């Protein structure tokens, strides 16, 4: 297996120049290939629908006629297609032996068990494997806000990080290949919780005829920012299992359903808040009313 750096010093470019294949040129794969080209890397691209490579070829990419040819031209192979069925087809059926000695970085979304199975299959083909989660939309790739999570071979990550940096800030989350998708999905779960809270708040404010944008910028965003500062402490409680109250016990928080009552009175559905309220009530009913809210996690997952 190749765990040494595929990147080589290019005297002319004055930086690290690597030979990289990008398989899959949808919105994301195209952004990834463009970011590599912008850093001066030698990029070979392949897509099931070949016409989608035209713009990248104009930007300096070479277009391979087959997956195996693209892989053979590179040390580092980036895969970004719709799903793992596509990845399996490309790597096992189409690339096969050409993968030997390469490093595969699979940035296709999937489940942790998909990533672990893929790591084993790629290892059986003689290549090193990194799974990845992209915490960005295509327009953010290569910009300061893009974060990419990687898991799997730490040696491959260390060797290729200078190249992967073209996409955004890379964070290695562990040797278990399933950890990048696990962290990716966990971050999205947190994000959707925040968006759900925002929708409810926006509906309440709008139901009173107030402008949502002004409320959001002047009040909601600073409030959520301040509240997010409490998350590390809640996380420490979850890790330790000690939910001793630190100021706002749970029984006080669910003493009444003001949020639900006022919502309903104003013609706003409380269906986003209702599950959270129900969980907090259950935790109190279970005898934990004198504890902090973080203990609600025990109702979602038994340690
Ligand atoms: N876009 C985002 O905001 C975003 C953000 C984070 C992660 N992702 C992940 O990135 C991956 C790609 O997303 P995208 O936005 O690029 O999707 P997309 O624009 O819909 O492109 C899908 C790509 O997958 C290819 N493909 C689909 N099935 C295939 C198969 N069986 N064999 C070979 N190629 C196949 C398509 O080829 P054709 O061109 O031939 O159809 C195309 O290149 C997904 O896993 C997605 O979840 C996307």
What is the predicted pLDDT for the residue at 141? 98
Helix (H, G, I), strand (E, B) or coil at 295: helix
Least Cα distance to 64 among 42, 86, 93 occurs for 42
Q: Name residues of the chain where pLDDT drops below 70.
A: 1-15
Q: What local confidence, expressed as pLDDT, does residue 96 receive? A: 82
Neighbour order of strands in the sheet with 169-174: 62-63, 42-46, 19-23, 76-79, 103-106, 128-135, 147-152, 169-174
CATH entry, 8-174, from 3.30.590.10, 1.10.3720.10, 3.20.20.450, 3.40.50.720: 3.40.50.720
Residue 272 contacts residue 196 (beta carbons within 8 Å): yes
Give residue 16's pLDDT: 80
Residue bearing tokens 């009313």: 289
The whole-number pLDDT of residue 12 equals 33
Q: Report d(CA 296, CA 279) in Å as an integer.
A: 7
pLDDT in the model for residue 298: 97
Q: Is the distance from the beta carbon of residue 188 to the nearest atom of ligand 1 less than 6 Å?
A: no
- Which pLDDT score is estimated for 99? 97
Instruction: Report CA(24)–ligand 1 centroid distance (Å).
Output: 7
Residue recorded with tokens 């809640």:
234
Instruction: Ligand 1, residue 137: give the atom nearest the CA.
Output: 3
Q: What is the pLDDT of residue 302?
A: 84
Q: Could you identify the atom of ligand 1 that is nearest to the CA of residue 110?
A: 45
Atom of ligand 1 nearest to the CA of 135: 6
* Closest C-alpha to ligand 1, atom 25: 81
Q: What is the pLDDT of residue 14?
A: 45
> Which pLDDT tens digit goes with each residue over 245-271?
888 999 999 999 999 999 999 999 999
What distance in Å separates the CA atoms of residue 55 and residue 244, rounded to the nearest whole number?
58
The residue to mutate among 25, 26, 146, having the most atoms of ligand 1 within 8 angstroms of its beta carbon, is: 26
SS3 254: coil
Instruction: Give the model's pLDDT for residue 260.
Output: 97
Residue 25 Cβ < 6 Å to ligand 1: yes
Ligand 1: residue whose CA is nearest its atom 17: 26
Annotate 174-184 with b (16+ C-beta within 10 A) or e (fewer): eeebbbbbbbb
Domain boundaries, the chain: 8-174, 183-300
pLDDT for position 156: 97
Task: Give the phi and the psi of residue 24 in degrees, each rounded to 5.
Answer: 105, 110
Please report which residue ranges of the chain form alpha helices under DSSP H.
27-38, 54-58, 67-72, 84-88, 112-124, 154-164, 179-207, 212-215, 221-228, 231-240, 250-253, 258-265, 274-283, 297-300
Which residues contact residue 242 at a Cβ distance below 8 angstroms, ignoring those fewer than 6 apart? none
CATH number assigned to the domain with residue range 183-300, chosen from the 4 options 1.20.1630.10, 1.10.3720.10, 1.10.1040.10, 1.10.760.10: 1.10.1040.10
């Amino acid at each position: 297996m190749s765990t040494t750096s595929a990147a080589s010093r290019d005297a002319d470019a004055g930086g690290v120049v690597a030979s990289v294949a990008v398989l899959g040129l949808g919105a994301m794969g195209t952004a990834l290939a463009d970011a590599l080209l912008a850093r001066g890397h030698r990029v070979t691209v392949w897509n099931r629908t070949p016409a989608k490579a035209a713009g990248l070829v104009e930007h300096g990419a070479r277009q391979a006629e087959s997956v195996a040819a693209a892989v053979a031209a590179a040390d580092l192979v980036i895969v970004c297609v719709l799903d793992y069925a596509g990845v399996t087809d490309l790597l096992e059926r189409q690339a096969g032996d050409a993968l030997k000695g390469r490093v595969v970085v699979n940035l296709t979304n999937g489940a942790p068990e998909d990533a672990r199975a893929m790591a084993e299959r790629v290892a059986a083909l003689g290549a090193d494997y990194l799974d990845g989660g992209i915490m960005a939309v295509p327009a953010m790739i290569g910009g300061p806000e893009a974060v990419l999570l990687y898991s799997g071979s730490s040696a491959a990550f260390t060797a290729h990080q200078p190249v992967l940096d073209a996409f955004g800030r890379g964070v290695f989350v562990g040797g278990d290949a399933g950890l990048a998708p696990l962290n990716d999905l966990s971050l999205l779960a947190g994000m959707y919780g925040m968006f759900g809270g925002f929708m409810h708040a926006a509906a309440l404010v709008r139901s009173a005829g107030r402008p949502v944008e002004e409320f959001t910028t002047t009040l909601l965003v600073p409030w959520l920012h301040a509240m997010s500062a409490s998350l590390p402490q809640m996380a420490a409680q979850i890790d330790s299992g000690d939910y001793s109250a630190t100021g706002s016990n749970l029984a006080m928080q669910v003493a009444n359903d003001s949020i639900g009552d006022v919502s309903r009175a104003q013609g706003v559905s409380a269906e986003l808040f209702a599950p959270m309220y129900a969980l907090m009530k259950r935790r109190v009913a279970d005898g934990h009313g004198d504890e902090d809210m973080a203990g609600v996690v025990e109702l979602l997952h038994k340690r």
